[in-house]
Amino acid sequence: MPGKILVLAEHRAGKLKSISWEVIGFGQKLAEQLQQELKVVLIGKAIECLADEVSRKCGQKVLTIISDRCEAYTPEAHCQILSQVAQQESPFLFLMGHTYQAVDFAPKLATMLGRGFIPNCVDYQIEAGRLQFVRQVFNGKINLQVGLKGEPPYFVSLQQGAFNAYEVQSRQSPRVVNLTVPLPEEMLKRKVLEIVQAAQGKVDLSQAEIIVAGGRGLASKEKFQIILDLAHTLGAAVGASRPVTDGGWLPKEHQIGSSGQTVTPKLYIACGISGAIQHLVGMMNSSCIVAINKDPNAPIFSVADYGIVGDVFKVVPVLIELAKEIRK
Amino acid sequence: MRILACLKQVPEKDSRYKIDDTATGIREEDLVFETNESDVYALEEALRLKEKLGGEVVVLSLGEERVLKTIKSGLAMGADSALHLTDPAFRGSDAFVIATSIARAISDQNFDVIFTGVQSEDMAFAQTGTILAQLLGWSHATIVMEVNVSEDGKNARVKRELESNLFEVVEIPLPAVLTIQSGINQPRYATLKGIMQAKKKGIRTLSAQDLGLKNSQLGSMGSVVDHQKMFFPEKKKKTVILEGTPEEAARTLMERLHKERCFSRWPSAERNSLCLARFWF
Ligand SMILES: Cc1cc2nc3c(=O)[nH]c(=O)nc-3n(C[C@H](O)[C@H](O)[C@H](O)COP(=O)(O)OP(=O)(O)OC[C@H]3O[C@@H](n4cnc5c(N)ncnc54)[C@H](O)[C@@H]3O)c2cc1C
Ligand SMILES: Nc1ncnc2c1ncn2[C@@H]1O[C@H](COP(=O)(O)O)[C@@H](O)[C@H]1O
């Protein structure tokens, strides 16, 4: 398979996002396996230093598109630029992280070019010379193998954390090339007015040694109380999955996951949490994970060290009593 | 305002799945279905927009007969009418095919805003809404946490969720597709009155032929990606499942945490006010 792999690297505040390093690392590995060339694409305003840094670190060619119109991300500018890049470079594959930005523009771009977009992949394989990706469906309970269809380029995004084993290698040909793409103002339909940081809450879970977290399985705000009780007796902090904070059972600051906090306690006790990937990315690097769930097939068990298949309302009260005993 | 809300029906979250013989789908016999979570938030947002600016809310669902339950619950929540796209040829369609079918169904209906969920819980493409916008030549915004449509109905100012607790406020011209994230509002429940009224509301059924779509444009043939096979994931970590009654399992867990792993891992240094664990471990 001769050709080229392009990695779209994302950045904020002058720094590359960690997921983009993962994608570059995996891109290098894949380029080697398929004997293809790899280039990193960077879009933005005043990104010259970043481009140099990226190029030096991975020793690959970097293609920059620098424009005042790209100071803030818009899907229109991204799609215009990347369709031009696709035309000029004729890549085989466009790789990117499965970020909020990719979700916003990649389906549009692929559709503009009459192609498909394979989102949020967690694994890959090359079978009889054919490249296939694996993604999770049905709330992480089933994997789906997806092949490339039609003509290249193929658009693929990678799940955060799933490819971090592929470390960036420092190759031989660092070089930055800039490409100019006209971006007439009337094309940019979306106007970015402001970027705001959600008010920093009082709850900083990143320092907690033990976290007791509850999910939708707790059924209601009232019943969620037993999670607070267990946390209290263990001297632990309280975490939650998204439905718990969406439903107002707990303030948003307690949410753990891709749109909440990332935590690495020594002990994480997940109660009534199914283990959706957006939750797992926020807690899977905890040292010891305990899962209590009535569903033996819940994906949370795939990251747990200890599991109890059972009803939280039966198990947690016992844990509270035992913790009280030990404490005496 | 003419407003469309797309509702997908998906298996209940706690479902246990069996993969079918072709390994390209799941067996539906023993499954219970519900409306996709973020779609309920999308419909609520649609209803609120109508209440503010006036107009009409139409719900749309593509799928077999069973999705009528989802359609009816949308009507009971307050939608005015419904479109049901149904055809055996839709089975196995990817997001591109679904978006194409929706685009065909509504091309002559002058909608101002389309609300979809951020992603479906079964296939998790996270792209039907965005593809739909592209096919219609409209603008779009994804992962939306707040919607404000201008009085004249020409623009929408929306707040998008980004990573790391960041949000972005953007303005886009209408018509547009907005993909709605859970937590944007607290969806209402259908009232008894709503359920009764829903029975009188119109549901228009459209087949692939009505949409002018051929079989070659649908299902896996029409899809732009190649869904090859489904399989159950292998476990990456060796999980010790603690057996017995809840009492026994809880006791074993405490002993294990105490003795085997966690005790040795608790450094006696650095105190943490959030965490009193060291006092009893
Ligand atoms: C863009 C995006 C960002 C997201 N960000 C986040 C995020 O930051 N954090 C996050 O958590 N989610 C996030 N989500 C949502 C995520 O996809 C899941 O929907 C969510 O994590 C599910 O939460 P849950 O496990 O509590 O609920 P469910 O998936 O409904 O699981 C509930 C579990 O409880 C179990 N259960 C029920 N009753 C009992 C009982 N009595 N005893 C024991 N077990 C029981 C069930 O078996 C089930 O496994 C995001 C989604 C999207 C699309
Ligand atoms: N079959 C369908 N019927 C109605 N709406 C759908 C359908 N499939 C997808 N959608 C809408 O598109 C959103 C995103 O779905 P997906 O692209 O599959 O993740 C869903 O939340 C729905 O609002």
Report DSSP letters for A174-202, one per residue: -EEEE------GGG---EEEEEEEPPP-S
Whether A48 contacts A14, CB under 8 Å: no
Separation CA A1–CA A131 (nearest Å)? 10
- Which atom of ligand 2 lies closest to the CA of B90? 1
Whichever domain contains A57, its CATH number is 3.40.50.620
Q: Looking at the structure, tell me whether residues B217 and B258 fall in a common domain.
A: no
* Helix (H) / strand (E) containing A76: helix A75-89
A146 in the same domain as A240: no
The reply to whether A200 falls in a domain is no
Would you call B219 helix, strand, or coil by DSSP?
helix
Assign B270 a pLDDT band (cuts: 50, 70, 90). Answer: very low
Q: How many domains does chain B have?
A: 2
Interface of B with A in 134-193 (CB under 8 A): 134-135, 139-143, 157, 160-163, 165-173, 182-183, 186
Q: B225 vs A266: CB contact, 8 Å cut-off?
A: no
| Average pLDDT along chain B | 91
Same domain, residue pair B275 and B193: no
CATH of the domain at B74: 3.40.50.620
What's the CATH number where A304 sits? 3.40.50.1220
pLDDT tens for each residue of B32-79: 999 999 999 999 999 999 999 999 999 999 999 999 999 999 999 999
pLDDT for residue B260: 62
Residues B109 and B17 both lie in one domain: yes
- Contact across the interface for B253 and A106, Cβ inside 8 Å: no
User: Is the same domain home to B154 and B203?
Assistant: yes
| Residues in Cβ contact with B153 at an 8 Å cutoff, skipping those fewer than 6 apart | B1, B53, B112, B174
The verdict on B274 and B156 lying in the same domain is no
B252 and B115 share one domain: no
CA distance B101 to B132: 9
Does residue A282 sit within a domain? yes
Domain boundary among the residues A187, A222, A251 is at: A187
Q: Say yes or no: ipTM exceeds 0.85.
A: yes
Helix/strand/coil percent split, chain A, to 5: 35, 30, 35
| Bridge partners, residue B81, by sequence | B58
Whether residue A143 is found in the same domain as residue A211: no
Is the confidence at residue B7, as pLDDT, over 50? Answer: yes
Cβ contact A148–B225 (<8 Å) = yes
Farthest CA pair distance, chain B: 71
B83 to chain A nearest CA, in Å?
24
**Average pLDDT in the A230-247 region?**
94
Q: Do residues B215 and B182 share a domain?
A: yes
Look at residue B233 and tell me if it is in a domain.
Answer: no
Kindly report the pTM of this predicted structure: 0.95
DSSP character at residue A4: E
Give me the helix-helix angle, A312-327 and A225-234, nearest 10°. Answer: 20
Rounded to a whole number, what is the distance in Å from the CA of A255 to chain B's nearest CA? 11
- H or E segment to which residue B185 belongs: none
pLDDT at A182: 94
pLDDT band (50, 70, 90) for residue A173: confident
Residues B214 and B141 in one domain: yes
As a whole number of angstroms, the distance between CA A110 and CA A155 comes to 7
Same domain for A19 and A140, yes or no, is: yes
Minimal Cβ distance to B257: which of A137, A195, A267: A267
Angle formed by the axes of helices A48-58 and A18-33, to 10°?
40
- According to the model, what pLDDT value does residue A280 have? 95
Based on the domain organization, do A82 and A166 belong to the same domain? yes
* Domain co-membership, A9 together with A133: yes
| A275 in any annotated domain | yes
A154 and A25 in a single domain? The answer is: yes
Domain presence at residue B240: no
To the nearest 10°, report the CA torsion of B262, B264, B266, B267. Answer: -170
**Residue A237 lies inside a defined structural domain of this protein:** yes
pLDDT at B273 over 60: no
Cα–Cα distance measured from residue B125 to residue A103, given in angstroms and rounded to the nearest whole number: 9
My answer on whether A182 and A229 are in the same domain is no
Indicate if B143 and B177 belong to the same structural domain: yes
Tell me, yes or no, whether A173 and A112 share the same domain. Answer: yes
Contact B134 A108 (CB under 8 A): yes
Considering A161, A187, A213, which residue would you say is the last residue of a domain? A187
Q: Which of B132, B161, B156, B127 is nearest to B145 (CA)?
A: B161
Per-residue pLDDT reduced to its tens digit, B208-266: 999 999 999 999 999 999 999 999 998 777 899 999 999 999 999 998 888 765 633 33
Helix (H, G, I), strand (E, B) or coil at B201: coil
As a whole number of angstroms, the distance between CA B126 and CA B101 comes to 17
Among the residue ranges A34-48, A50-64, A69-83, B266-280, the one predicted with the least confidence is B266-280
| Pick from A108, A116, A301: CB nearest B130 | A108
Query: How far apart are the CA of A142 and the nearest CA of chain B, in angstroms?
Result: 5
pLDDT of residue B269: 29
Centroid of chain to Cα A303: 17
pLDDT digits over B179-192, tens only?
Answer: 999 999 999 999 99
With respect to residue A319, please indicate whether it lies within any of the assigned structural domains.
yes
Mean pLDDT for A291-301 is: 95
Instruction: Give the Cα separation of A127 and B179 in Å (integer).
Output: 36
Same structural domain, B148 and B251: no
pLDDT attached to residue B281 = 33
Domain identity same for B252 and B137: no
Q: Which domain holds residue A214?
A: 205-327
∠ Cα A4 A7 A9 (to 5°): 160
Integer Cα distance of A42 and A25 in angstroms: 16
Comparing alpha-carbon positions, the chain B residue that sits nearest to A72 is: B168
The tally of CA atoms less than 13 A away on the side-chain side of residue A108 is 26
Residues with CB under 6 A from ligand 1: A 215-217, 241-243, 255-260, 272-274, 276, 278-279, 282, 293-295, 298, 311-313; B 13-14, 118-119, 143
Cβ contact A98:A105 at 8 Å? no
Task: Specify whether A230 is located in the same domain as A161.
Answer: no
Domain boundary among A120, A154, A187: A187
Q: Are strands A191-197 and B166-173 parallel, antiparallel or unpaired?
A: antiparallel
Domain membership flag for residue B230: no
Q: Which residues have a Cβ under 8 Å from the Cβ of A324 and sit 6 or more positions away? A: A233
Q: Which residue has the tokens 């950045």?
A: A11
Is residue B209 in some structural domain?
yes
Q: Is residue A198 part of a domain?
A: no
Whether B7 and B71 map to the same domain: the answer is yes
Are both A212 and A307 inside the same structural domain? yes
Q: Bigger pLDDT: A204 or A52? A: A52
Is A135 exposed, middle or buried (CB count within 10 Å of its CB: 0-12, 13-18, 19+)? buried
**Interchain CB distance below 8 Å, A143 and B232:** yes
Q: Is residue A293 part of a domain?
A: yes
| Residue B193 located in a structural domain | yes
Mean pLDDT of B195-203: 97
DSSP string, B62-76: ESSGGGHHHHHHHHH
- What is the torsional sign of CA B169, A159, A95, A151? negative
Residue A49 confidence (pLDDT): 96
**Which pair of structure tokens corresponds to residue A44?**
């933005």
State which residues form the domain around B174: 2-222
Name the residue among A146, A236, A246 with its Cβ closest to that of B275: A236
Do residues A164 and A45 share a domain?
A: yes
Q: Does B177 fall in a domain? A: yes
Higher pLDDT: A325 or B86? It is B86
Asked if residue A145 and residue A237 are part of one domain, the reply reads: no
Q: Which of A120, A143, A308 sits opposite B231 (nearest CB)?
A: A143
**Residue of B229, B246, B213 whose CA lies nearest to B96:** B213
Mean pLDDT of A58-64: 96
Cα–Cα distance measured from residue B215 to residue B123, given in angstroms and rounded to the nearest whole number: 21
Q: Is the dihedral of CA A80, A86, A89, A94 positive or negative?
A: positive
Residue A181 forms part of a structural domain: yes
| A6 φ/ψ angles, rounded to the nearest 5 degrees | -105, 135
Take residue B277 and report the two structure tokens written for it. Answer: 């664990």
Domain count, chain A: 2
* For range A186-203, the mean pLDDT: 87
Residue B241 lies in a domain: no
Q: How far apart are CA B45 and CA A231, in angstroms?
A: 35
Please name the amino acid found at residue B75: L
Q: Is residue B254, in this structure, part of any structural domain at all?
A: yes
